[in-house]
Each structure stands twice: as structure tokens, then as C-alpha cells.
Amino acid sequence: MNCSGKAKTYLDFEAAINGEFLHTGGRAASQRLLSMLDFRRDMRVLEIGCGSGATLSELSGRSQFDLFALDFSPSMLRNARKRVRPAERTILILADASQSLPFVPDTFDLIYAESVAGILPFSKVLPEWSRVLKKGGQLALNDGLWKPETTRSIVNKFTHLARQEFGHTMAPEFTETAADWKRLLADNGFGKIDIVSAAYPKDVLRRTKQAARARRFRIFSQPHLWSRYFRYRKAMKQFADLGQHLDYWLFVARKLG
């Protein structure tokens, strides 16, 4: 991706303005997910799809463990690097989470991903993510999944719109529910699967006034992004009822030995 010029996709645009907490539930969901996890000294942690490093910054500074962060966007990784202090034990890696991961088996004690598994073919990437997770290690996910009554036509509609307007899906391209993911995790050797609803009231999801002002400043200080910004604002109106078809969940599962 290249964000030095015109933002070609929505993720390019967000990289250009150093967008943060783009995933389901924003910062509140990230903090809640992290509170569900077991951290201990000298563990290895991998964030898949770190983006500009917003959740990464919530963890950086905990020097008792090694933190690895992976993203496929060079621009996003450059933003994430600015959030990490030079002395911290954090390694940033350019890689595609939908492909083979650049790690040997049984590398990590914890892997977490926010709104990444839901826009990938999760059934295909899960075995690879499991490969690099140690036995007894935790996998943590934050994603929006379709409600059980959602029809295939509705899924197809929003999948087509999202790819057309933003360059990527905004939810699984198949009618995957929380129950489907729980079965998938169990079939791939995971147990102790905790699933917590991440349905937050709208006032929790809103950006603080300070964060909103900073975001507007980053947008309007870059005139080459204005047309893209207004296009995305207009496109968002087509997704006004998307939320009524999705449930939002936090998953924490442990890889069995």
C-alpha cells in the first residue's frame, strides 16, 4: 500500500491519517479483551493485524514479555513504530496474515487479533495461527459475526458493497455465527473457549472529543485526502443497518496439549 499519494483503499486512507482502534468496539473492546488474558513474565505475544499500533500501545511498556506485531501494510507499520519506545521488547513484522506466518511452530504463548479473522477466511487461517501457538497458549479474537437469522442474500449484499466502496469486507463473507466459530475452534484443537458479548452502547463507541478533533485535523491538513474522505462518509450511509445483522464477540480459547 502507498499512502504517500492518493489513498487507494479505506485502509490506505486510515494509514494516511494514522487512524486508531478501527476494530469492533474500539478502545473499550481492546481493553476488555486484554483484561480477559493471562500475562506472565517472559511470554511471547503476537498481535495479528496491528494496524497503526493503537492496541499495541496498550501493551507496550510491559517489559516482562516479548511483543511481536504483524501487519501487511508498510504504512500502518510505520505508524505503529512511532508508538513503540526504542527500549521496549517489541518487534514489528511486515507479513500477510492470510498466508504462512514467518515463525517456527510453537513460538507464541498468546496470539490476538481484532477484526482480522472476520475479514479473512478464518477456517483457512486458523490452522496456521494454531501452528505457531504453543500448547496451552491462548488465542484471543474480537470480531463481528452474523446473527443466526441473517440470510445469505444480506451477507452477499454487504460483502459486495464493502469490497466496492472500501476494498475489503467488513464482516465474514459467509454466514458465520459465534456458534460456528466455537465449533471451528474446537475442531482445531482448542478448548476452554470463553465467548463474551461485545455489544457496547453507542456512547461508549464514540471517540472522545480530543480524539475526534485530532482525527479531523489529520484529515483536513492533507488536502489530497479530502475527496476520499467525503466519498467514504457518503458510502457509510449504505451500511446504516449493517449493525442489526451482526453480533459482536470477544473470544478467548486455549490450545489443548
How is the chain split into domains, by residue range? 10-255
User: Is the sign of the CA dihedral 32, 250, 47, 174 positive or negative?
Assistant: negative
Task: Please compute the mean of the pLDDT values over residues 25-45 and round it to a whole number.
Answer: 88
Specify which of 33-37, 51-55, 130-134 reaches the highest per-range mean pLDDT. 130-134
Give the separation between CA 168 and CA 97, rounded to whole angstroms: 14
pLDDT at 10: 85
Q: Dihedral through CA 115, CA 118, CA 122, CA 128, nearest 10?
A: -10
Q: Is residue 26's pLDDT more than 50?
A: yes
pLDDT score of 190 more than 60 = yes
Residues 6+ apart with CB under 8 A from 249: 141, 142, 143, 144, 145, 178, 181, 195, 196, 197, 198
Q: Kindly report the average pLDDT of the chain as a whole number.
A: 88
Q: Calculate mean pLDDT across residues 170-191.
A: 95
Percent of the chain with pLDDT over 70: 90
Average pLDDT over residues 194-215: 72
Does 217 score more than 70 pLDDT? yes
For domain 10-255, the CATH class is alpha beta
pLDDT at 201 over 80: no
pLDDT on residue 1: 36
pTM above 0.85, yes or no: yes
Average pLDDT over residues 107-120: 94
Rounded CA gap, 79 and 126, in Å?
A: 27
Instruction: Encode 64-97: b = buried (16+ Cβ within 10 Å), e = exposed.
Output: ebbbbbbbbbebbbebbeebbeeebebebeeeeb
Give whole-number Cα distances, 121 to 58, 88, 98, 117, 125, in Å. Answer: 27, 33, 8, 7, 6
pLDDT over 90 percentage in the chain: 58
